[in-house]
């Protein structure tokens, strides 16, 4: 008998079917053939597009860490699915045709034809594949590469890559023609009884087309559709496993999603006859049902991805995103330039997550600062906001440094975050600065002794304008604040100012920024466009530390 390491070596040279039979020969071989790394390699080889993962094809495969993903189970399930596909044959499509479809389907999942590789996510303004399709829902029924009108960048790229593109167009069209030919059942001389897909479906009287896949139906069309869905779910499970075990989750996720998007396009074309058929059946069966969801692979595939990939690893994605962003912030704080490569990666991730959050409407308002997305992106957004708030609050810096840092950080975060998130972060930063200013001012109040420096309301209206906030915040010094308030002759005016401030704080996220600055400046008692001399005079006249005052003004003027 051979030593174990050698048996393992031999077995690494086998593929899935041989591995499965050999694992049934004897216990020893069974043990050797159960190595998860081996199955992971097999799964990747069969299912996952590998041009992005050259490391996975290397010879020393078993060095790669394997966690608790059941790769063997996945490989087996893949084989089950294949036999499920073949079982469907014979009704309308012959087994040969079924195999052809299966191979096209899995082939496009495995090696998607990515249009314009140079443009995938490199040019910031270029919409991603899915957004193209969402923005142009009619497109999918026309020529696949009819994008010429998009951007200048695209047009020039098209010229450069003409030859490649034409090669692609030809193969795609050939493929589509071939599939359409195969699918176009009415035109071929298939016996009439084979054409009765619709009647089969309507005959089974209590059949309800259940898109969530709970109910089993007898109809071949729906069975077929279930099988497609199962295959996609299985594929997404595998992707999740691959992502969980990858070193660089963020960029891996982007790559996988880009591949999936590209595959989506081909697959949509491939199963268009089927989805249209389902829509027709549904329409004829439930003519009164209003606004039924039209079946469409372009909708289905992102939904499956969302449930089977994103939802499972969203916590990992969010934490890895936040960690990366905080690391880069640290760099910005030290005055170094943030990693450009990182910005691109994060931008890619955000685009990828936004892809599954957008719908036909919101795709047009993608860059709007007030865009409220529900779904996957909102999760990432909220996570980022709450983590950033913690980060900002943990900063303990002098106000001038803080303002400089925030300015740089803002420039850095707008480089990769969508407008709406960046605006929210801006509000957070603003609040942090505000609370810092309040701290400084409240310290002034605490140190204030009325018997030493009698004050008038005019000199201290800057303080009075924030008194309300201080009252709320500095509970333990309430007495001092009240003493301060009493020393101010016109008590009513202070209350009025407090109300003003409160109102501005309330709707600061909604109103126009310039307006806020102006109103704030009015309350401070300076003109919005005051010169430094004026500011200095102003601050001297109010007996406030000039540095703090300029900090205050700077804080307002950056927003």
Partner 1 sequence: MFYNFNKIEEVKIRLRSAEGHICEVEESAALMSSFIRSMIEGFNEVTEVSLPNINSVVIEKVIEYMRHYKDKDPPIIKKPIISSKMEENTSAWDAGFIDADWNMVVDLMTAADYLMMIPLRDLCCAKMACKFKGRSIDELRAEYHIENEFPSEMEENLEFQHPWRLE
Residues that bind partner 1 (CB under 8 A): 2-3, 5-6, 9-15, 17-18, 20-22, 24-27, 41-42, 45, 59, 61, 76, 79-80, 82-83, 86
Collapsed DSSP state (helix, strand, coil) of residue 405: helix
In angstroms, the CA 504 to CA 512 distance is 11
Q: How far is the CB of 37 from partner 1 (least distance, A)?
A: 11
Nearer to partner 1, 82 or 331 (CB): 82
CB of 97 to partner 1, least distance (A): 17
Q: Which is nearer to partner 1, 31 or 489 (CB)?
A: 31
**Which tokens sit at 519?**
């109103």
d(CA 516, CA 513): 5
Residue 442: how many CB atoms within 10 A of its CB? Answer: 21
Least separation in angstroms between residue 226's CB and partner 1 is 17
If you write DSSP's letter for every residue of 119-180 in order, what string do you get?
Answer: GSSSSTTSPPHHHHHHH-GGGGGS-TT--TTS-HHHHHHHHHTHHHHHHHHHHHHHHHHHHH
Q: Which is nearer to partner 1, 3 or 335 (CB)?
A: 3
How many Å apart are CA 207 and CA 223, to the nearest integer? 12
> Smallest distance, Å, CB 80 to partner 1?
7
Please state the closest distance from residue 369 (CB atom) to partner 1, in A: 52
Give the residue with the Cβ less far from partner 1, 79 or 382.
79
Q: Toward partner 1, which CB reaches closer, 19 or 470?
A: 19
Is residue 317 within 8 Å of 253, Cβ to Cβ? yes
Phi-psi region of 128 (alpha: psi -120 to 50; beta: other; left: phi over 0): beta
Q: Taking the complex as a whole, how short is the minimal distance between the CB of residue 10 and partner 1, in angstroms?
A: 4
Identity of the residue, 76 or 431, whose beta carbon is nearer to partner 1 in the bound complex = 76
Q: How far is the CB of 63 from partner 1 (least distance, A)?
A: 13
For the bound state, the minimum distance from the C-beta of residue 19 to partner 1, rounded and expressed in Å, comes to: 8
Instruction: Give the dihedral of Cα atoms 230, 231, 237, 238; nearest 10 deg.
Output: 160
Residues 235 and 118: their CA atoms lie apart, in Å, by: 26
- Which residues have CB under 8 Å from 274's CB, separation 6+? 183, 221, 224, 225, 228
- In the bound state with partner 1, the residue whose beta carbon lies nearer, of 45 and 161, is 45
Q: 34 or 509, CB closer to partner 1?
A: 34
Structure-token match 């760099």, residue found? 331
Cα three-residue angle 39-41-47, rounded to 5 degrees: 95
């Amino acid at each position: 008998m051979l030593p174990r390491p050698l048996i393992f070596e031999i077995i690494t040279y086998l593929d899935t079917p041989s591995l499965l039979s050999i694992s049934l020969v004897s216990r020893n071989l069974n043990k050797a053939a159960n190595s998860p790394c081996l199955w992971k390699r097999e799964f990747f080889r069969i299912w996952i597009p590998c041009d992005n993962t050259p490391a996975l094809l290397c010879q020393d495969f078993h060095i790669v860490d394997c966690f608790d993903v059941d790769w063997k189970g996945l490989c087996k399930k893949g084989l089950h699915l294949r036999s499920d596909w073949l079982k469907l044959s014979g009704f309308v499509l012959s087994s040969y045709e079924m195999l052809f479809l299966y191979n096209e389907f899995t082939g496009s999942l495995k090696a998607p034809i990515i249009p314009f590789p140079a443009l995938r996510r490199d040019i910031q303004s270029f919409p991603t594949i899915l957004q193209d399709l969402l923005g142009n829902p009619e497109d999918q029924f026309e020529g696949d590469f009819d994008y010429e009108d998009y951007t200048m960048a695209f047009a020039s790229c098209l010229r450069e890559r003409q030859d490649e593109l034409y090669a692609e167009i030809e193969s795609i069209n050939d493929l589509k023609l071939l599939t359409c030919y195969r699918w176009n059942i009415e035109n071929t001389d298939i016996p009439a009884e084979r054409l009765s897909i619709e009647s089969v479906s309507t005959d089974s009287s209590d059949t309800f087309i259940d898109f969530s896949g709970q109910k089993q139906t007898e109809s071949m069309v729906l069975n077929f559709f279930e099988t497609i869905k199962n295959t996609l779910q299985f594929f997404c499970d595998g992707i999740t496993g691959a992502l969980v075990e990858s070193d660089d989750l963020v960029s891996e996720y982007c790559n996988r999603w880009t591949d999936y998007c590209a595959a989506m396009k081909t697959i949509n074309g491939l199963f268009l006859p089927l989805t249209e058929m389902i829509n027709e059946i549904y329409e004829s069966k439930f003519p009164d049902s209003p606004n039924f969801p039209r079946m469409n692979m372009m909708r289905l595939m992102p939904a499956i991805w969302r449930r089977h990939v994103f939802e499972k690893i969203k916590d990992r994605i969010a934490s890895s995103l936040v960690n990366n962003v905080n690391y880069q912030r640290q760099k910005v704080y030290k005055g170094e330039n943030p990693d450009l490569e990182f910005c691109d990666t994060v931008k890619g991730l955000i685009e990828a997550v936004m892809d599954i959050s957008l719908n036909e409407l919101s795709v047009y308002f993608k860059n709007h600062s007030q865009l409220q997305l529900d779904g996957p992106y909102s999760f990432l957004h909220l996570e980022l906001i709450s983590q950033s708030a913690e980060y900002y609050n943990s900063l303990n810096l002098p106000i001038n440094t803080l303002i400089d840092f925030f300015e740089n950080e803002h420039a850095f975060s707008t480089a990769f975050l969508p407008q709406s998130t960046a605006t929210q972060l801006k509000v957070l930063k603003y609040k942090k600065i505000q609370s810092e200013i309040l701290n400084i001012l409240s310290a002034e109040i605490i140190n204030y002794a009325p018997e030493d420096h009698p004050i008038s309301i005019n000199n201290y209206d800057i303080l009075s304008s924030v008194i309300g906030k201080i009252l709320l915040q500095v509970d333990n010094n309430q007495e001092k604040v009240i003493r301060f308030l009493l020393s101010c002759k016109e008590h009513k005016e202070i209350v009025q100012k407090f109300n003003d401030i409160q109102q501005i704080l309330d709707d600061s996220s909604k109103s126009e920024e310039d307006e806020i600055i102006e109103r704030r400046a009015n309350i401070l008692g300076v003109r919005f466009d005051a010169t430094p001399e004026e500011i200095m005079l102003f601050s001297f006249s109010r007996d406030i530390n000039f540095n703090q005052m300029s900090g205050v003004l700077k804080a307002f003027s950056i927003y």
